[in-house]
Amino acid sequence: MPQQSGTAQRSFSPSAEPAPAPALFQSFIQGGFECSTHKRKSGLRLDIIASSEHDQFALEDYRQLQGFGIRTVRDGVRWYRIETQAGQYDWSSWLPMLQAAQTAGTQVVWDLLHYGWPDDVDIWQPSFVDRFARFADAAARLVREHSDAVPFYAPVNEISFLAWAGGDARYLNPFAAKRSYELKVQLARASLAAMHAIRAVDGRARFVHCDPIINIAAYPSRPEQAKIAEGHSQAQFQGWDMLSGRLLPELGGSLDLLDIVGVNFYHNNQWFHKGRTIKIGSPSYRPLRQMLADTYARYRRPLLVAETGIEDERRPAWFAYVADEVAAARASGVPMEGICLYPVLNHFGWDDDRPCHNGLLEHHREGDGRRVYQPLGDEIMRQRAAHPEWH
């Protein structure tokens, strides 16, 4: 049975003073390009950057987002395409994107492992950690050659979610069962090794560690399940706890390496134990501002809503809810550094290639850019006007 990371820590006391003005990123409102490269059970590898044609139009995409004040983005480095043979790096899939960001003046948080790895890598072996660290070292050297700016990386995306999906639910590669904690430890070890390698190249490097924040509650009619539900909720912190050194300190984690905590939050991040999604307005629903305060109380690190979004016509209302909750958290002293609309560009679904209408930018191109989902664009501009400090 995986060990828990401790009991709930909900001790943050709202401050009479709001958090200091955000200063980490070029823009508070950000955009994330879906960059998954995992494999389906059929063996087919996904490459969302390619299928959305973002790799072909990165410069145009970055420039178009700047029209909405979005000058910071999350984007992906596709390891499986770069290192098809151990130790040999072909940067042709990434270098044009790196140069496009430079040309546009867009700041990028680069995901180094977003669910996918080279075909010849066995993620369960110690060699996985060493090879990923060498790849991170090589990537950092390329960034340093092409930019003088402080680099930002997300070493391993969603350690806890990938560990569950790939180590227990058999939903993502490596399609294992009852190995989620083992996979979580391996991913944390790889992330730590990668950060040490990157900082040896550039000591200024900053790291964003993204994972979902969740709330699992017992049905009111089943109060005897409350402790079980809370235990499952607490497991969300294990990845960050490993990186921070409060869990399995022998891995070498530290608060300095945890650096920036990226919380991912969607409409289905709260549910009843073995039951349905908890809806906003339910007595069991925890406002996002409280969940942000809880996370800050645990780590006292800068926070970023690293992913949030929804499909179809609910996009503007959902973004407004998240923005309002983030503003409330900041007003109480929680140092929120940004909100990343994720994905910012529509893409095709993981499971069935269906068009997912969840972005600001549509897949369809018009002239020099893409079609815009204007209701969401209008809401972004409204939030910028309402919060001038969100530069």
Q: What are the chain's domains?
A: 29-386 (3.20.20.80)
- Residues 290-306 have pLDDT tens digits of 999 999 999 999 999 99
How far is it, in rounded angstroms, from Cα 291 to Cα 281? Answer: 15
pLDDT for 367 equals 87
Own/partner pairs for 43-47, CB < 8 Å, 24+ apart?
A: 45/80, 45/116, 46/116, 46/350, 47/78, 47/81
The Cα–Cα gap between 320 and 337 comes to 17
pLDDT, position 391: 83
pTM recorded for the entire structure:
0.95
Burial of residue 296, with CB atoms counted within 10 A of its CB: 0-12 exposed, 13-18 middle, 19 or more buried = buried
| Positions in the chain whose pLDDT score sits under 70 | 1-11, 15-16
Q: What pLDDT, on the 0 to 100 scale, is given for residue 7? A: 42
Q: Report the amino acid identity of residue 60.
A: E
Give the Cα separation of 115 and 108 in Å (integer).
19
Q: According to the model, what pLDDT value does residue 368 have?
A: 86
- Do the Cβ atoms of 82 and 76 come closer than 8 Å? no
Q: In which element (H, E) is residue 356 found?
A: strand 355-356
Is the separation of the CB atoms in 233 and 271 below 8 Å?
no
| pLDDT at residue 16, rounded to an integer | 66
